[in-house]
Amino acid sequence: MTQRHRRHYEDLAGPAVPDAIGPNSILLLPIGAVEQHGPHLPMSVDEVIATETATAVTAEVGEALDVWQLPTLSVSKSNEHAWSAGTLWLSPETMMAVLMDLGRSLATTGAERLVLLNGHGGNTTLLVTALRELRLRFGFKTFLTHPSLPPAYGGTSTEDELGMGIHGGLNETSVFMHLRPDLVDLSFAQRRVPESLAENRHVRFGGSVSFGWLSNDFHPDGYIGDPTGASADRGRDLFTGAVATLCAQMEEISSFDFGR
């Protein structure tokens, strides 16, 4: 596979960057996490999903839209899982500093569009702030996308999970079963849905009132959802749909302007 078709930023020779990347290029940064996902999943879930999604999107529209896939930022703001030994996490301050340092570096390429593809819901609010900071400091047109919008931030979850399959639940487990079936052990999976929150009108995941939480606030297992019915077939359909949606999003991103 040639550099042109692979379109991985790090495969470019340094002197080739000015010719390969310019104002019309889109830089795509996958952001994952290395954090506990309960006993049925490995800590690599978010990193794998972010990377595989970015790779599929780049393969699909990279040539047409001049997309360059950046190396995945595998460790991010996962301190809601800090209680679990082995979780790797950056403080919010460090995470923001890392993003600003990457922005400073990437500004030298001449690219005008920077897309953050976030595979970890716990990063979401910080990344929204980072979009404005990156624009202010380096002039990028900045965008935040997800393989699927986290339910805690307005995305959908299954009715059986009462809309709260937010971490290691049915859909996430299914997608990971599609991508890495050898790393999933459903014999450890149980229903871990915070049933009491379902009666709340406002203070709930995806409700009108946000609340601070740690992943073990609801159960010591640290996952939130019901992965017991997960399947690789369901995961394949979800992954394929996510890639198609992201490709459509990238099409709009490629021509986005502020309408002045």
Phi, psi (5° rounding) for residue 20?
-80, -35
Q: Determine the pLDDT at residue 4.
A: 44
- 37: amino acid identity, one letter: H
> Has residue 20 got a pLDDT over 60?
yes
The pLDDT assigned to 150 comes to: 77
The pLDDT, as a whole number, for residue 260 is: 65
The span from the CA of 80 to the CA of 77, in Å, is: 8
- What's the average model confidence in pLDDT over 90-94? 98
Q: Roughly how many angstroms between the first and final C-alpha of the chain, as a whole number?
A: 41
**CB of 83 within 8 A of CB of 216?**
yes
Rounded to whole angstroms, what are the CA distances from 157 to 166, 219, 227?
Answer: 7, 19, 12
Q: Is 84 helix (H, G, I), strand (E, B) or coil?
A: coil
CB contact set of 172 (below 8 Å; sequence gap of 6+): 37, 41, 45, 49, 165, 225, 227
Question: Residue 2's pLDDT is what?
Answer: 42
Q: What percent of the chain has pLDDT over 70?
A: 98
d(CA 126, CA 138): 18
CATH topology classification for 3-159+238-255: Rossmann fold (3.40.50)
Give the pLDDT confidence of 204-253 residue by residue, as tens digits: 888 889 899 999 999 999 999 999 999 999 999 999 999 999 999 999 99
Whether residue 3 has pLDDT greater than 80: no
pLDDT at 5: 52
149-193 pLDDT, tens digit per residue, is 777 777 777 888 888 888 999 999 999 999 999 999 999 999 999
How much is the pLDDT for 108?
97
What pTM does this model have? Answer: 0.94
Q: Where are the beta strands (DSSP E) in the chain?
A: 26-31, 67-69, 113-118, 141-145
The strand pair at 67-69 and 26-31 is best described as parallel
pLDDT of res. 259: 79
Count how many Cα atoms sit within 13 Å of the Cα of residue 35 in the half-sphere of its side chain.
29
Residue 154 has a pLDDT of 72
Mean pLDDT of 7-28: 96
Does the pLDDT at position 29 exceed 90?
yes
